[in-house]
Amino acid sequence: MSTINTSTSPETNPIAAKDLVKHFAKKQTLANRIKKTPIFNVPAVDGVSLNIQTGETLGLVGESGCGKSTLGRTLVGLYSATSGSISLYEKEVSNSRTLEDRRAVQMIFQDPFSSLNPRMTVGDMLSEALLFHKLVSKEKVKVRCLELLSLVGLPADAVDSYPRQFSGGQRQRIGIARALALEPKVLIADEPVSALDVSVQASVVNLLMDLKKDLGLTMLFISHNIAVVRQVSDRIAVMYLGRIIEIGPTEEIFRNPSHPYTKLLLSSVPKMSIGSQISSAPAGELPTMLSAMTGCRFRSRCPIAISDCATKDPQLVEVNKTHQAACLMVN
């Protein structure tokens, strides 16, 4: 199914980012203009480097406002990066992507209601993408649409229906079919199951896992739901205020979290084990990124912060070969 002219040897990463930065300009108010206050940009993503290997699912977790969705959208190309580079199969694409580059990275959105055009039938939506990218001829487009629908477990008559005729779980399947229509190499799933009920959530997660295995997809799974991320990811990256502060294999992160924020996050998750009662509640609120920051971003909430944390900006260091954390107190 590949028509993308890139080598797919296991050594080349389907998608990688280096020192990726995305700033959003804060609106300049009249008062500030008169006072000549310099414009401060909100660093939503502030120097992120990561690579995802072929066939791997990288789970990206963090609290709201930490920049995980911005990172996902920048990787897809919905936002242009302020600085840093993105490469697909070792080929730098950054802010000028060809049609093929764009095809190779597709996205699934959180909200299955607003991400589908209410005035287009499912068939129209799928054929629009297929025809625009000239993947099939006009005569064969209907057949391909039906194939895609059966791939995501929707009935064939869905092709002539409108999004409003479907439930949340079914709509999310339509969103997945639309992303898969372009035969992508990399799928960026931004909170794909957060809007769904538990019973439906499980079936969509299973579908994503099956598709990933069958089609050899590489996936970035963005979610705030740590329990779901644990089920789907090979590796986990934890984000805090625009930075990745810990990254490593899923089981390693759960068994041996090294960054104090990861520890806090994992201990805050309500558990299913019988008799569990929330024992310790973390202090403090998530700071906003509206002010420039020096030192470690987590130090205001950190139980083990030392004076060095206020001045030194911790970089990711190795805990072991596969596991890195950005904390001065690691090791």
Partner 1 sequence: MRGISFEVGAGDSIGIVGESGCGKSITLKAILGLLPVNAKVTRGNIYVNGTDVAGHSKKERRALFSEIAGMIFQDAIAALNPVITVGEQIAEVPRFRLGQSKEQAHATALKLMEQVGISDAEHRFSLYPHQLSGGLRQRIAIAIALSGKPKVLFCDEPTTALDVTIQAQVLRLLLELRRDEGLGLVFVTHDLAVVNEICDSIKVMYAGKFIEVGGVKDTFSKPTHPYTYSLLKAAPDPDVAVSRLFTIEGEAPNLILPVTGCPFSPRCFASTTECLAKEPQLISIDGSLSACFNGAEHTKWKATDAKSGAHA
DSSP helix/strand/coil, 310 = helix
Q: Is position 290 an interface residue for partner 1 (rule: CB under 8 A)?
A: no
Q: Residues near 61 by Cβ (< 8 Å), separated by ≥ 6? A: 68, 223, 224, 226, 229, 236, 237, 238, 239, 265
**CB of residue 323 vs partner 1: minimum separation in angstroms?**
17
CA distance 48 to 22: 10
Residue count at the site for partner 1 (CB under 8 A)? Answer: 44
**CB of residue 105 vs partner 1: minimum separation in angstroms?**
26
Q: Is position 304 an interface residue for partner 1 (rule: CB under 8 A)?
A: no
- Contacting range for partner 1; rule: CB under 8 A; set: 98-106, 110-118, 128-136, 219-227: 219-227
Question: Pick from 250, 258, 262, 324: which binds partner 1 (CB under 8 A)?
Answer: 250
Q: Sketch the per residue contact string, 153 through 182, with partner 1: x for CB under 8 A, - otherwise.
A: --------------x-x-------------
Q: Which amino acid is at 180?
A: L
**Relative orientation angle of helices 198-215 and 168-180, to the nearest 10 degrees:** 20
The string of DSSP codes covering 34-57 is HHTPPP-EEEEEEEEEEEE-TT-E
Question: Pick from 41, 225, 249, 263: which binds partner 1 (CB under 8 A)?
Answer: 225
For partner 1, the closer of residues 62 and 84 by Cβ is: 62
As given in the structure block, the two tokens for residue 128 are: 């629009």
Q: Sketch the per residue contact string, 94 through 133, with partner 1: x for CB under 8 A, - otherwise.
A: ----------------------------------------
Q: Is position 228 an interface residue for partner 1 (rule: CB under 8 A)?
A: yes
CA distance 3 to 9: 15
Q: Is position 292 an interface residue for partner 1 (rule: CB under 8 A)?
A: no
Paired sense of beta strands 41-52 and 105-108, if any: unpaired
Q: Is position 282 an interface residue for partner 1 (rule: CB under 8 A)?
A: yes
Among the listed residues 13, 69, 57, the one whose alpha carbon sits nearest the alpha carbon of residue 209 = 57
For the chain, give me the number of helices (H) and strands (E)? 10, 12
Q: Is position 272 an interface residue for partner 1 (rule: CB under 8 A)?
A: yes
Q: To which residue do tokens 């580079």 refer?
A: 85
- Alpha helices (H) along 91-197: 99-104, 122-132, 141-151, 168-180
Q: Is position 18 an interface residue for partner 1 (rule: CB under 8 A)?
A: no
Q: Is position 327 an interface residue for partner 1 (rule: CB under 8 A)?
A: no
* Residue ranges in 48-77 that form contacts with partner 1 under rule CB under 8 A: 63-64
Among the listed residues 62, 80, 64, the one whose alpha carbon sits nearest the alpha carbon of residue 221 = 62
Q: Is position 291 an interface residue for partner 1 (rule: CB under 8 A)?
A: no
For partner 1, the closer of residues 120 and 266 by Cβ is: 266
Q: Is position 231 an interface residue for partner 1 (rule: CB under 8 A)?
A: yes
**CB of residue 250 vs partner 1: minimum separation in angstroms?**
7
Q: Tell me the C-alpha to C-alpha distance, in Å, between residue 103 and each of 65, 175, 180, 314.
A: 28, 15, 10, 36
For partner 1, the closer of residues 105 and 236 by Cβ is: 236
Q: Is position 31 an interface residue for partner 1 (rule: CB under 8 A)?
A: no
**Interacting residues with partner 1 (CB under 8 A):** 63-64, 167, 169, 197-203, 205-206, 209, 224-228, 230-231, 250-251, 254, 264-278, 281-283, 285-286
